[in-house]
Chain A
Amino acid sequence: MKKFLSSIRSLFGDRPLWTVIVVGMAFVILIRNLYTMQILNTQEYEERIYEDQAEEYEVLGVRGNIYDCYGRELAVNVTSYSLYYKPDTVNPELNDTLLSLMDVLAQSGEELAIRDVLPIDYNANSGFFYTDRFANPNGTARLNFLAEIFGTKRADLTEEQKRTTAEQAYQQMRDETFSIDESLPLETVLRLEEVRYALFQYRWTPEEPVLIAENISDRTQAVVLEQSDKYKGFYVETVYSRTYPQGEIFAHIVGYTGHINEAELEAYAEKGYTETDRIGKTGLEASFEDTLRGKNGTVKVTYSGRTGERLSEQTISEATRGQDLILTIDADFQRECYNILYQHLKLLLLDKITGTSEDNNKAYSADDIVAALLLNGFFDTSLIQESTLPDARRYTEAFNQEADTALQTIVDTLIHSDTLIADYSDEMIDYFSLVISYLRENDYLSTDYRNDEERVYVRYVSGLTTAYEFLEYCYNGGYFKLEEFGLDPFSTAEEGLPVILQTTVEALRHNRQYEQMVFTNVLRKDLFNMRDFILLCYDLGFLSNEDGSREMFSNDEIDLLNLLRMKIRQDEITPGDINLDPSSGSMIVTDCDTGKVRAIVSYPSYDTNQFLNSYEYYEKVTSDRSSPMLFRALQETRAPGSTFKMCTSSAGLELGYIDLNTFVYDNYAYENVNSVAKPTCWSKISHGSVNVIGALEVSCNYFFYDVGYRLCDPAPDGSFNDNVGLEKLKYYALTLGLGTKTGIELPEAEPLISTQDAVRSAIGQGSHGYTVANINRYTNTIANGGDVCDLYLVDHIQNSDGTVTYRKDTTPVSKADVTEEHLDIIKEGMRLVNTETSKDDLEILDIMGMKTAGKTGTAEESYLHPEHAWYTGYTNFDDPEVSITIVIPYGNGSDKCLPIFKDLVEAYYMLEEPEMEEE
């Protein structure tokens, strides 16, 4: 027994034995599991080997549409195909693949979506050159680019590499970086380099697809899909893109959608946007993105591992259809209004094209127009340079010489000249401004130099310094980014400025604006004959000869002035193309009682369809200096001029400073001001004694100066504080709905209520700034007896099945703190404006039985330009229906707006309901 027990004990103590036992137990479990898997359940596992592959697919959501008030389409979906490429695809023949692809696209007239990416460019005249900010040889942009193509780091670039010319860069990319076939034509190689370079930018995120082409045809799609091994890594996605049937008429209102970019993707990440989504960029497409958007859904499809057939489909998240917007606007009326504004602008411009140049843009000669067309790119200087026509070459030669000499002149003048900037020739001023904008836009010069405390700056603003003084001020103030020019922070202006300027002018040599300026100057200096130039324009296709005008011109049957006038009348050249005052305008028509928008127009505009589909058009629109993309009606604030007088009247009447029996004698120049200069009435002939109604009728400035003065509660000795009066004017501007945003569903500029000079502010000068919408809203308040309403464009929102999910609540947002009695007084004044003062233009309305009222406004903003032309008015006087507000910046006199108002009122009343179109 003892032996047994002791042997048990020694067993217990046999540690190795225990080790084996523990290990053994573990393996028993494992073997048992193996038995279960391989013997008992082997069938089950056998099947499982070939089991289900589950894959998730995206189901596209459908975006809601935008319609006018009668259901006409303004923004609708259209299926289109986008071609993408996965940069992580391994394809040693990538260049060949791209060449074939470009061929295929060209056959269907399609373009690659990759543009403007390459830091170098080529034209027949200048050869190879660096573009934009890459033009600076010491700049980080250029060095980063060189590092990329030499496959090294910026810090490791050799001196020789840093000096790479544009042509050498082209060769480097062709031979080394991208291994492109040398024997291909230059244009093709350059294009390939651009695409390869663009793809190269995606090397940090190789899984992210790159958009190669949009809106490809069925044919292109078929080719890519059928030859999928040739086009490895390319795939086609069906996307819903948009078409805008009304084009430029609704461009600003409706806006457009585009591919989502990185910044937007980050901001909207939680809402489930992916890289290939489209998103509203401007207009209602953007502000109602959430409502319009159709969310993509996900579907999980399971395939049998063995047979590959589709086993089941499971919806993980539903794709949604966005909601539709129904606007308040009638497309026909909007179109009418747009055309009316355009036609009148055209006429105004034609009136100014008299053949003689007048200062401050008061009148234009034929040469002025040609110069303007060159500067705005209507006559495309790149095409001139690329053309092989003998005249074009001659012109380009002259341009080359002038371009080079001008550069030196610029550097010379800026550094050595003692002439004050104010005394510069027009030519030199333009060049100087270009130099400064180039430096600012590329961040080489910080705008902090705009410091009102610095005397040099203050003098500079008035042109009372030399260029060198100003540049030296900037240099010593540390406003230049010296590293970009390879300059030592301790260098002096004397050392550094020549470097900066030399680098800048070299960069400018191929700057488009500079080229345009020089081409213009070549004509101006008669280094190339104007007549030859016009004929060249026909040959290059800038002007059309369908009207036989080329022969008429070359036969001297028509001179240049009349030729241009003819082209403008025929709408071949538009005010927007010329971009000389007046080249823009905006107007708005709304319901007096509710703020419902009937029409809202901003000229110039652009065609959103072409904008999205043609790169050429896109470039033209984005570089057009008349800013067609700006929604002036909501975004451009201008001094209102006399249209502000109703506000001043309200302040005066309500606060008891004036009443119906307050008469003021118009003495022309008003003395009670805090400034040295005395403001005057617009009319040199006194208006005599007028009360508020009379003052409004004739728009007497003197009367309102006095009201402004009184509002300041002047002391017995006549001294006063402007702010006292300004506060009161501000109060009434706010309560009448003038000084606050209109509440419309699109982004608006913030209105500016004047903070300077109460007396001048009372007549709408000072520092006021309002949009046409602001003025219109306050006109409504006056017309409807004091209800301040928000302006609105969207009448209602509905689901795809027609259920209305939102309808605008038209209750007024507030009541103006002005009695109806006082408003009636003001309205009477406005009525008389239309029936008496503006009789010549508006009498016809009266005769036709439309009783209207309104107010003209002429606002001075800059002595270099004509005054703004404003008009705001409403119809019907007895029972106000709609109000109309028009502004033509630099239109030179409010009377210019009157014919527009007349035409608009007529158009409004002639409106018919359209035949209901079948959906």
Chain B
Amino acid sequence: MFDKNNLRGIDLLLLFLISALTFIGIVMIGSAHHWVLDQEHFYLDPLMKRQILGYVIGMFVILFILLLNYDALKLIIVPAYFGVLFLLVIVLFIGVGSEAEGDDVRRWIQLPAGFTIQPSEFAKIALILIMAWFLNIYQDRVNHILILLVLAGILGVPLFLIYKEPDLSTSIVVVSIGFFLLFNAKLKWRWIIPIVIVGVLVVFLVYRDAMSETPRILGKYQVLRIRAWQDPEAYQLEDAYQTIKSTAAIGSGGLTGVGLFQNSGTVPVATTDFIFCIIGEELGFIGAISVIGLQLLIFVRILFIGRQAKDLFGQLVCTGVAVSFIIQSAIHIGVCTGTLPNTGIPLPFVSYGMSSLISSMIGIGLVLKINAESKLDF
């Protein structure tokens, strides 16, 4: 199952890029958590420590994946999928919510020593794997209605469980992953176009309904968020509070930012859902663009690796990981800038959250593996 030869041909560039991003994240987390860089009495902020721990664990996981044989990798896909489904089910019963939202929302499973695990993060990886695998096998019949229905099922079950938590933002990411995987598996335009049209229509109708007098589709919180997004002034003390504070923070960063560790402390939930605001505030436009640039580089690099993959499976895994990563970033930045209604989503590699970091690194591990594999053949 393992072979140390598998360690050859690792794409160090990608490894470097994500490590850089993680490092930036750790520093920003410290800043957001009011950490002080005191040279005399040096200490590390607890959140930073955990993030570093997550990174180290992630690196071990990457190592593990790389050492695994390619074929062995494929063997664990189906068990992993069902394992994740199991976790998604039990989180609905014994899960806990965040401090802000309480136990109406159940996204985490409590582990000993105060750690938590977020099943939906790992669900994304499992989904990418199983859909890529499935599409690889049936790639010739990808346009067949039966195949599409099975795929809908494979995607739909975890999607439904995630939506029930409720975790709308992750659901959206999962849907996007599914869509782009199909898209890259060469699903014919005659399917793609209707799906896109229906998607746009649904979004439009939901938006209309939420803004109307009697919203019926979405839950109360989500309706409030959409309304607050459209009219921040009216909701300034409640639901638009976060958006107003976060956009103000970014805007006040100007071109070069207020300086590292100089953030005003007015951004709520700054270590997780709004960490891009800290970047925008402290590092300014230049810093923000740089980080975006870094992310786009990672994105493109992964897709490039995918292009060179030896089979459709490898290509689709890379596509899935890339899309998952970049869509999340886009949504996160969209929320921070007020471009999108408020929804809690972490910025991959940057936001505090061990589940998110580790699962992102699993994704990178897979990509690196696929890359190494493709190099072996030449």
Contacts and interface: CB of A to CB of B under 8 A. Distances in A.
A39 interface: yes
Interface string A29-45: 11101110111011011
Interface in A6-51: 13, 15-16, 18-20, 23, 26-27, 29-31, 33-35, 37-39, 41-42, 44-46, 48-51
Contact of A31 (B186, B255, B289): B289
B132 interface: no
Contacts of B299: 20, 23
Given A30-B339, A33-B339, A19 B248 contact: no
B262 interface: no
B67 interface: no
B285 A48 contact: no
A19 B183 contact: yes
B254 A30 contact: no
Interface in B173-215: 180, 183-184, 186
Where chain A touches its partner, the secondary structure class is helix
Given A31-B292, A38-B255, A16 B337 contact: no
Nearest to B180: A19
B330 A34 contact: no
Interface string B303-324: 1001100000000000100110
B251 interface: yes
A54 interface: yes
Interface in A30-76: 30-31, 33-35, 37-39, 41-42, 44-46, 48-51, 54
B162 interface: no
B254 to A, nearest CB: 4
B300 interface: yes
A775 to B, nearest CB: 60
Interface in B228-255: 236-237, 244-245, 247-255
B264 A39 contact: no
B333 interface: yes
Contacts of B280: 34, 37-38
A34 B319 contact: no
Contacts of B180: 19
Q: For the side of the interface on B, what is the size category?
A: 35 or more
B186 A35 contact: no
Given A15-B183, A34-B280, A27 B252 contact: no
B183 A18 contact: yes
**Most A-side CB within 10 Å, residue of B180, B248, B266:** B248
A804 B226 CA distance: 51
Contacts of A51: 248
B363 interface: no
A49 B184 contact: no
A31 B284 CA distance: 12
Interface string B245-282: 10111111111000000001010000000000000100
A23 B184 contact: no
A45 B251 contact: yes
A34 B323 contact: no
B319 A45 contact: no
A46 B300 contact: no
A48 B264 CA distance: 12
B339 A46 contact: no
Contacts of B319: 16, 19
Contact of A42 (B252, B334, B339): B252
B92 interface: no
Contacts of B266: 49
Contacts of A15: 183-184, 186
Nearest to A13: B186
A866 B188 CA distance: 105
B131 interface: no
Contact of B237 (A27, A34, A45, A54): A54
Interface residues of A, number: 28
A41 B319 CA distance: 37
A34 B250 contact: yes
A628 to B, nearest CB: 49
A81 B264 CA distance: 39
Nearest to A42: B254
Contacts of A23: 296, 299, 323, 326-327, 330
Give the interface SS of chain B, mostly helix, strand, loop or mixed.
Answer: helix
Contacts of B245: 49
B193 to A, nearest CB: 12
Given A20-B303, A46-B251, A38 B285 contact: yes
B38 to A, nearest CB: 26
B300 A49 contact: no
A336 to B, nearest CB: 59
A38 B300 contact: no
B358 interface: no
A29 B323 contact: no
Given A29-B339, A42-B253, A34 B288 contact: yes
A26 B183 CA distance: 17
A45 B248 contact: yes
Contacts of A44: 251
A23 B328 CA distance: 11
A876 to B, nearest CB: 69
A15 B182 CA distance: 10
Nearest to A40: B251
B289 to A, nearest CB: 7
Contacts of B326: 23
Contacts of B322: 19
A45 B337 CA distance: 12
B183 A37 contact: no
B183 A27 contact: no
Interface in A76-125: none
Nearest to A33: B337
B158 to A, nearest CB: 22
Contacts of A34: 250, 280, 285, 288-289, 337
Nearest to A15: B184
Contacts of A20: 299-300, 303
Nearest to B339: A33
A49 B248 contact: yes
A49 B252 contact: yes
Nearest to B334: A30
A16 B252 contact: no
Given A16-B184, A16-B306, A37-B251, A27 B296 contact: yes
Contact of B323 (A19, A45, A54): A19
Contacts of B327: 23
A18 B252 CA distance: 35
Given A19-B180, A23-B299, A30 B251 contact: no
Given A23-B299, A31-B289, A48-B244, A38 B254 contact: yes
B252 A30 contact: no
Contact of A46 (B236, B252, B288): B252
Contacts of B184: 15-16, 19
A15 B185 CA distance: 8
Contacts of A49: 245, 248-249, 252, 264, 266
A23 B323 CA distance: 9
Contact of B250 (A18, A27, A45, A50): A45
B366 to A, nearest CB: 17
Contacts of B236: 54
Contacts of B253: 38, 42
A30 B333 contact: yes
Nearest to A37: B251
A13 B184 CA distance: 10
A27 B244 CA distance: 21
Contacts of B330: 23, 26-27, 30
A-B residue pairs, 3 tightest by C-beta: A45-B251, A48-B248, A38-B285
10 contacts: A16-B307, A23-B326, A23-B330, A34-B288, A35-B285, A38-B254, A45-B247, A48-B248, A49-B249, A50-B264
Given A15-B183, A34-B280, A34-B289, 14 more contacts: A19-B322, A23-B296, A23-B326, A23-B327, A34-B250, A34-B337, A39-B285, A42-B251, A42-B252, A42-B254, A46-B254, A48-B248, A49-B245, A49-B264
